Amino acid sequence: MRDEVDGLVEAWRAERPDLDVEPLQVLSRVSRLARHLDRARRAVFTEHDLEPWEFDVLAELRRSGAPYELSPGRLLRATLVTSGTMTNRIDRLAAAALVRRFPDPADRRGVLVRLTDEGRERVDAALADLLRYEESLLGSLRRAERERLSSLLRSVLSPLDED
């Protein structure tokens, strides 16, 4: 079965025979898949009245386990944003009653950010819908194929994530 990437690679081979365009076979497909996933994530999150960044912060809190609280520093490291950006995000999530701030008992100057019941319900529902969509994308792959694909992608991503 041919796809658009096959045509793109074929055209580049004809126009630039001096270049090895083989990386396009994989990375153009990864790029196209990422765009489709981004659109789907946005659609799912919109159904739950969430922005992608809101889901990311709420999901990080949810994954932390009960009582679903982290310091702002842990949240910014996990979501790869600056402290100013994280402060703004926490403010907005708190105004929407999705998180609350509490004094950190281990640090008199610090605070902890805790997921509210509403925040937990919203992130849980959005995750369930997202996973249903993602499962439909992978439905044509057998378990062994999924595991192999996951392993191969991990090999490509690992060196990039070390930066």
DSSP per-residue letters across 85-111: HHHHHHHHHHHTTSEEEEEETTEEEEE
pTM: 0.83
Q: Report how far residue 52's alpha carbon sits from residue 89's, in angstroms, rounded to the nearest whole number.
A: 12
Question: What domains are there in the chain, each with its CATH number?
Answer: 4-160 (1.10.10.10)
Tens-level pLDDT at each residue, the chain (163 residues): 889 999 999 999 999 999 999 999 999 999 999 999 999 999 999 999 999 999 999 999 999 999 999 999 999 888 888 889 999 999 999 999 999 999 988 888 889 999 999 999 999 999 999 999 999 989 999 999 999 999 999 999 999 887 6
Identify the helix (H) or strand (E) that includes residue 35: helix 23-47
Parallel, antiparallel, or unpaired for β 69-70 and 107-115? antiparallel
- Identify how many contiguous H helices and E strands the chain contains and give both numbers: 7, 3
**87 CB contacts (<8 Å, ≥6 apart)?**
72
Residues 149, 150, 156, 158: what is their CA dihedral angle, to the nearest 10 degrees?
-170
For residue 115, give the DSSP letter. E
What does the block give as tokens for 153? 């992608």
